[in-house]
Amino acid sequence: MAFIPHTAADVAAMLSAIGAPSIEALFEEIPAELRVKSLAGIPEELNEMQVGRLMSERARADGLALNFIGAGAYEHHIPAAVWAITTRGEFYSAYTPYQAEASQGTLQLIYEFQTMMARLTGMEVANASMYDGASATAEAALMAVRANRKSRSARILVPQTLHPHYRRVAVAAAHNQGVKFEEVPYGPETGVTPLAALSKYEGEDVTAIVIPQPNFFGRLEEVDTLTDWAHARNILVIAVVNPTALAILKPPGQWGARGADIAVGEGQPLGVPLSSGGPYFGFMTARMEHVRQMPGRIVGRTLDVAGHPGFTLTLQAREQHIRRAKATSNICTNQGLLVTAATIYLSLMGPQGLARTAAACHARARELVSVLTQVPGVRAAFGAPYFHEAVLQLDRPVAAVLRSLAARGILGGLDLSAYYPELGQALLVCATETKTTQDLERYRACLTDVMQAARAA
Amino acid sequence: MSNVPADLKYTQSHEWVRTLPDGTVEIGITDHAQEALGDLVFVEVPDAGRSVKAGEACAVVESVKAASDVYAPLSGEVTAGNPQLASQPEAVNKDAYGAGWLMRLRPAAGALAAAALLSAADYQKVLDAEGG
């Protein structure tokens, strides 16, 4: 079935109207060496029936493993109503509307999303969302460089306890814009960023520090101490937070004496299913004094000419359709569909529901650590407190253990050896509210078998 | 017809410069510029102590539909940014040559002479040529 409505005669008529000999001739301006000549490596076309069959086979191959991997994307229960409502025709759009104010419903939804994120993070203003947690972190670094007018260095301190992918994305996105990221080591016994690691920056020009909470190891950083240290030295604070955890942890707006300056994070835990890495969405909130340096779209509430309340895109002079090359960023869209799901998720859960979910995650993770460290050869790398993840160290090779567990239908966690070789045979495990005591017991029993087999081998 | 006071100097990019008795200069945007921008909603001025070069973007004026950089008419060190504009950006619209000043500079040695500023009459010609 052809989905292009133009016939060969239509195409010929259009070409002749503009005096072009062929469609190919329209691309002459693009230098030949820049044009893709072949699509080698891309498989032959399949029809709809064949694609459907291929996808079901691949879905079966994924299986229905019992999942204990977190590391930035988390398995949570999503009430059925979330996607039933999100996929209604009134909401089902992936994109911000071009004629924004004609879509009052969409704008109201984004406004309510912003309100929820501002309240969850304890900050004064939120934008309409970012692509994901990693790119939101990179944008926060660029925003801090613009906002901190007392600093000229564009130096950003980044703890090694920040997600390794976030660190790489931040460098990729901001390095060529002159932003310098400097990694701060963690305490080898504690798994958190010690204040002492910052003493070498005393008296130096530093623009901002990133503080992850919980950090990549699941551990809770000493956010008040770090925030106050930074603010006493005119260093801005960028919080990178898990939105579920915020239901029970102190929000970034209350860190230390003055609160963080910018808060960002991955929004996936709020109603977005794990889906081979995405699409997810990022969120960003900030203190009002920095709003003009904030990237992305912002929806505001206003009154129309007749005095009726309505919603509008606001502070658009920051954006590239007005400010061109000097715009605060090239982000001029948001993750509309996923923000819709998150807004519905949060409104169904409510503050109490989200807090119960967070508390259940924490309780399950504690139970998981307690159960798994009973297995001979398994120990917890760091102490408490942690949220819903923890690092375990094994006395056998982690990669082989994970393969054996996967063969038994268990995704046992993330092998940390490539990211943190100094931790040895280390494994990042996660348990959310979706795991039952029986699930944890099954993991323990399988791990015991696998470790025994590995020892015998 | 725009208001172009005779006692000030001007730039092609619609800034005005007033020499103060202590040798520093006060800088703002012209009446024509504020009118072209429309109602200002935000003005960002430089902090005292910042060194600026002639032609460098050193302030931002933002209206509902546009944001423009303001360029330093001459090189020097900023002695003050107008603190009133953070809460009252509309001062630039109401009184572009008075309460709406943006910053004060201590000119670098010879910078004032090197800046080749326009007289009021020459600036008026610029406006006439633009159709203003």
- Nearest Cα to A350, choosing from A268, A281, A247, A435? A247
pLDDT at A10 over 70: yes
pLDDT class of A53 with cuts at 50, 70, 90: very high
What's the complex ipTM? Answer: 0.72
- Structure confidence at residue A95 (pLDDT): 64
Q: Is the pLDDT higher at B111 or at A284?
A: A284
A292 in Cβ contact with A278 (< 8 Å): no
Whole-number Å distance between alpha carbons of A92 and A110 = 14
A12, amino acid identity: A
Q: A66-76+351-456 — its CATH code?
A: 3.90.1150.10
B68 shares contact with chain A (CB less than 8 Å): no
Which of A101, A146, A148, A149 best tests the B interface by mutation, with the highest count of B CBs <10 A? A149
- Nearest Cα to A273, choosing from A20, A76, A6? A76
Give me the helices (H) in A87-132, please.
104-121
A392, amino acid identity: L
pLDDT class of B120 with cuts at 50, 70, 90: very high
The residue of chain A nearest to residue B63, with distances taken between CA atoms, is A317
pLDDT class of B130 with cuts at 50, 70, 90: confident
**Unique residue bearing structure tokens 């204040």:** A195
**Unique residue bearing structure tokens 């996936």:** A268
Please name the member of A149, A292, A317 whose beta carbon is closest to the beta carbon of B66. Answer: A317
- Structure confidence at residue A97 (pLDDT): 65
pLDDT at A96 over 70: no
- Structure confidence at residue B1 (pLDDT): 55
- Structure confidence at residue A316 (pLDDT): 82
For the A80-344 domain, the top CATH level (class) is alpha beta
Q: CA angle A259-A261-A265, nearest 5°?
A: 100
Residue A138: phi and psi, rounded to 5, are -60, -45
* Element spanning A312, H or E: strand A309-313
Chain A contact set for B47 (CB, 8 A): 149-150
Q: B9-106 — its CATH code?
A: 2.40.50.100
**Domain boundaries, given as residue ranges, for chain A:** 66-76+351-456, 80-344
Whether residue B67 and residue A323 make contact (CB cut-off 8 A), yes or no, is yes
The whole-number average pLDDT for the span A50-64 is 90
Assign residue B63 a region: left if phi > 0, alpha if psi is -120 to 50, beta otherwise? beta
A361 in Cβ contact with A387 (< 8 Å): yes
**Unique residue bearing structure tokens 């090189």:** B75
Q: Render the burial of A365-401: b for 16+ CB within 10 Å, e for the rest.
A: bbebbebbeebebbebbbeeebbbbbbbbbebebebb
Distance from the B67 Cα atom to the nearest Cα atom in chain A, whole angstroms: 6
pLDDT class of B54 with cuts at 50, 70, 90: very high
pLDDT at B122 over 90: yes
Query: What are the tokens at A339?
Result: 């923000």
- Structure confidence at residue A181 (pLDDT): 98
pLDDT class of A426 with cuts at 50, 70, 90: very high
Q: What is the mean pLDDT of chain B?
A: 92
The whole-number average pLDDT for the span A342-352 is 97
**Domain boundaries, given as residue ranges, for chain B:** 9-106
